[in-house]
Amino acid sequence: MTATVFPYFPAKSWFERVKQVLSSKPQDKRQLITLLRDAQQRNLFSTETLDMIEGALKVSEKHVRDVMIPRAQMVVLELHAPPDQLVKTIVESGHSRFPVIGENRDDVQGIFLAKDLLDYYASEKSENFNMRDVMRPPVFIPESKRLNVLLREFRTSRNHMAVIVDEYSGVAGLITIEDVIEEIVGEIDDEYDIDDQVFIKPAHDGFYTVLALTPMAEFNEYFKSDLSDEGFDTISGLLLQAFGHLPKRGEKIELGGFHFEVIRANARRIQLLRTSQSS
């Protein structure tokens, strides 16, 4: 088989370079990805650009069930909870949107935006807070919906969160527009981001944000702990063994006197943790 020869390209945008690669007329998606990877190895465009292109190609093959936040890991607000209790949940989670439930997690009544509490606390009115007055209607979608279709619907409807239902109309989980976009462009910076050179950073109320690549020796030194470092270079390695699988965002575990919650993870590795010492 004759090897594909790529000509030298002068300074061009990555889009123009990709179009030049595609002039080879790949016959299927697999061949296309092979050509793109070969072109990246020839420094025609960056690794980040290649990752984004591959993400865009693969997103049409994925369904919401592949990236959703499972029902058990959903952070929810109760319909009749008082404002002070809502604030506590919002601050502890760090999220900006929440499903509002009635009797149980299958009874999703609406979507609440954390910023709507600002009006309540800023107002001098004496009326009691009523969740029904401020929450948005929920959007329900099936587990089988493809991510590219959902992204298009998010863009046209301007919704940023959808509740996922299974074949029996029970709540299976939820998904946000950020979850879909991250499948294309990679992880998006959020309120939990810390400098890559700072492994551990105090957050609030006894919690810490911890990079999953924090060396075990540094973790133990910081917390004056003695978690086992036998066979593990980083806290990520220890947690992967403890979970027994690659955890998704929101999964929690108690280990060695610490509470760990996965704040960020992708299909390959854990990236960021929320940690506190067990009482």
Smallest Cα–Cα separation from 165: which of 150, 196, 186, 144?
144
Q: With beta carbons less than 8 A apart as the criterion, state whether 250 and 192 touch.
A: no
Domains, the chain: 14-59 (no CATH), 65-185 (3.10.580.10), 200-277 (3.30.465.10)
pLDDT of residue 270: 87
Spatial distance between the Cα atoms of 19 and 200, rounded to a whole number of angstroms: 43
| Tokens 């299927």 -> residue | 28
pLDDT of residue 218: 92
Strands 171-176 and 69-70: antiparallel
Report residue 31 as tokens: 């061949």
Q: With beta carbons less than 8 A apart as the criterion, state whether 103 and 204 touch.
A: no
| Tokens 């919704």 -> residue | 159
Tens digit of pLDDT per residue, the chain (279 long)?
444 444 444 445 555 665 665 566 666 677 777 777 777 787 777 777 777 777 777 778 888 988 888 887 788 999 999 888 898 888 777 788 999 999 999 999 999 999 888 877 777 554 678 899 889 999 999 999 999 999 999 989 988 999 999 988 899 999 999 888 888 776 655 544 555 557 898 877 788 989 988 999 999 999 999 998 787 888 998 998 899 888 888 889 999 999 999 988 766 678 889 999 886
pLDDT of residue 1: 43
Report residue 107 as tokens: 């009874």
**What phi and psi, each to the nearest 5 degrees, are found at residue 75?**
-95, 115
pLDDT of residue 27: 67
State the DSSP string of 209-228: EEETT-BHHHHHHHHT----
Report residue 224 as tokens: 């004056």
pLDDT of residue 183: 80
Q: With beta carbons less than 8 A apart as the criterion, state whether 258 and 278 touch.
A: yes
Q: With beta carbons less than 8 A apart as the criterion, state whether 152 and 88 touch.
A: no
